[in-house]
Amino acid sequence: MLTAAGVAPAQQGVATGSVPAVRDQWTTFNGDSSGKRFSTLQQIHEKNIHSLTLNWAFQTHGPQMKGTPLMIDGVLYLTLPDHVWAVDAKTGAKIWEFVRPSEGNHIGNRGAAYYKGHLYIGTPDAHLVCIDAHTGKQVWDIEVADVKFGYYISLAPQIVKDMLLVGTSGDQADVPHAVHAYNWETGRQVWQTSSTPRATGAPGAETWPDTKTMLRGGGAMWMSGTYDPDLNLVYWGSANPHPVLAGPVRKGNNLFTDTILAMDADTGKLKWYFQANPHDTHDWDAVQTPVLFDAPYKGQQRKLLAQASGNGYYFLLDRETGEHLVTAPFVTQDWAKGIDDKGSPIPDPQHEPQPDGALTASAGFGGTDWMSPSYDPLTKLFYVTGREGYSFWYLALDENGLAADHQGGGSIALYSKYYTIAIDYETGKVKWRRESGEGFGFPGILTTAGNLLITGDLDGNVLGLNPVDGKVLWHKRLGATMNSSPMTYMVDGKQYLLTCVDGVVYAWTLPDK
């Protein structure tokens, strides 16, 4: 709904009870519970963004930042694996640092969750840690899964009611994954929902060839979910089945991998599902953020869920019922030969991994990945960082036709080109796209009521684009790819735009008058 001034009202979809609303603040990984990554701030806008200046920078002296900071009550919370910083949001001065060395996979950390004066992070050794947000002191530490089996946690925990929701990551071994809900105060587990069936006869087990194969697992939860408090549903996307590339040994659709899951927030019970990528043999995943918004569809106001999935297709669903509405490609690819009656792409066997290899007109890591998309209710466009290219896929099975490891083959990414892509939410048609370089990177997207789209490219620039047509309004060359997602906030009447590049946080503002 728009006001008379044509500006969307402040976002009210905050899942926490301790922060009132997301307008000046950024209180969750996506800014609010919807996943839109749209800010109602408009002090920085299309007419003045060209005058942005660097206000401060914070050096972590660490690896690439892959998360999104939180900003609550004038304090920024930044994360890297094993590290959390509290930083003054006006000056960039460090307030405290929390360090917890751990074993496990240190590929990245997406961020923290905040609730009632506490911070929560997942760790490389698959623990969930509670920290006092004021002092940086640890409150409690619980094990979510056993790091010795290859589990770790890379996502930012999600706050839903009085619970913390986390999912396990790990793609280096045959292990099953799940979403876990914990009490915010005690760390006691409230519920757990698996992304693959765990027993013969369980729902979805009929889509696997046998129980032994099914128990090899998969379905990692790489990204935080979204939440509709009115429907009391949480929405998460799951990753690929195992063995990752060996389709012949796990014939069937392999539920509930590569699937958008709608779960009851109180119990974790599955309410409905949509499989974005049945029988995934390319590691496409469907973990990309399920973005929630209300808008007309064919003349009727609907509660919608949109996902630009890793397989290169855009999906639009009714988030109350799971009814499929739209399936449309947003990048060029040839791995699918059509769409089935449920709206899911149909894999083309010619492009599945073969013993002597198969060339596929798809980028090696899919049409998109974990870089955050954004939905702008003013332009009514859905934005995603997409990529096109070519890749080569092969099987490596033993003399019995079985996969000896969790992969069962390999792949070579031959070429990839990136684009910032604007999609008509209602039809799935691409309205515009802008080339953003060749190579490999993960720049996410932020949109604002200042008629701005903030992102990065693979040439080392951070960019301010016009969200209507993709024209460049502002750019700064920081010399490295932004492998995180920008965010914005306001303190004492000044709007800050935050971009994280390599291990440095850059805060941009308009010059003082």
How far is it, in rounded angstroms, from Cα 486 to Cα 25?
14
Q: Report which secondary-structure segment, H or E, holds 212.
A: helix 211-214
Q: Please state, in angstroms and rounded to a whole number, the distance separating the CA atoms of residues 411 and 331.
A: 20
Q: Which residues pair with 131 in a beta bridge?
A: 119, 138
Our measurement of the distance from residue 450's CA atom to the centroid of its chain's CA atoms, rounded to an integer in Å, reads 24
Q: Where are the beta strands (DSSP E) in 145-269?
A: 158-160, 163-167, 178-183, 189-194, 226-228, 233-237, 259-264
Maximal C-alpha separation, the chain? 74
Q: What 3-state DSSP class applies to 390?
A: strand
Whether omega before 256 lies within 30 degrees of 0, making that bond cis, reads yes
Q: Taking a C-beta distance cutoff of 8 angstroms, is the pair 77, 69 a contact?
A: yes
* Cβ–Cβ under 8 Å, residues 320 and 303: yes
- Quickly count: other Cβ atoms within 10 Å of residue 161's Cβ: 18
Q: How far is CA 153 from the centre of its chain?
A: 14
Q: Could you tell me which of 180, 246, 258 has the C-alpha nearest to residue 218?
A: 258
Q: Are 204 and 255 in contact (CB under 8 A)?
A: yes
User: Beta-carbon neighbour count of residue 501 at 10 Å?
Assistant: 23
Structure tokens at 310: 């890793």
CB 71 within 8 A of CB 85: no
Rounded to an integer, what distance in angstroms lies between the CA atom of residue 343 and that of residue 340? Answer: 5
To the query of whether residue 283 is one of the catalytic residues in this protein, the response is yes
The burial of 464, by beta-carbon neighbours within 10 Å (0-12 exposed, 13-18 middle, 19 or more buried), is given as: buried
Calpha distance 271→15 (Å, rounded): 20
Token output for 327 = 């399936």
DSSP 457: -
Asked if 488 and 496 touch (Cβ cutoff 8 Å), the reply is yes
User: Number of C-alpha atoms within 13 angstroms, CB side, residue 261?
Assistant: 29
Surface-to-core class of residue 139, CB atoms within 10 Å of its CB (0-12 exposed, 13-18 middle, 19+ buried)? middle
Q: Which of 283, 369, 457, 502 is catalytic?
A: 283
Name residue 71's amino acid. M
Burial of residue 316, with CB atoms counted within 10 A of its CB: 0-12 exposed, 13-18 middle, 19 or more buried: buried
Residue 235, token pair as written in the block: 């929405």
Query: Pairing relation of β-strands 163-167 and 178-183?
Result: antiparallel
Query: Active-site positions?
Result: 283
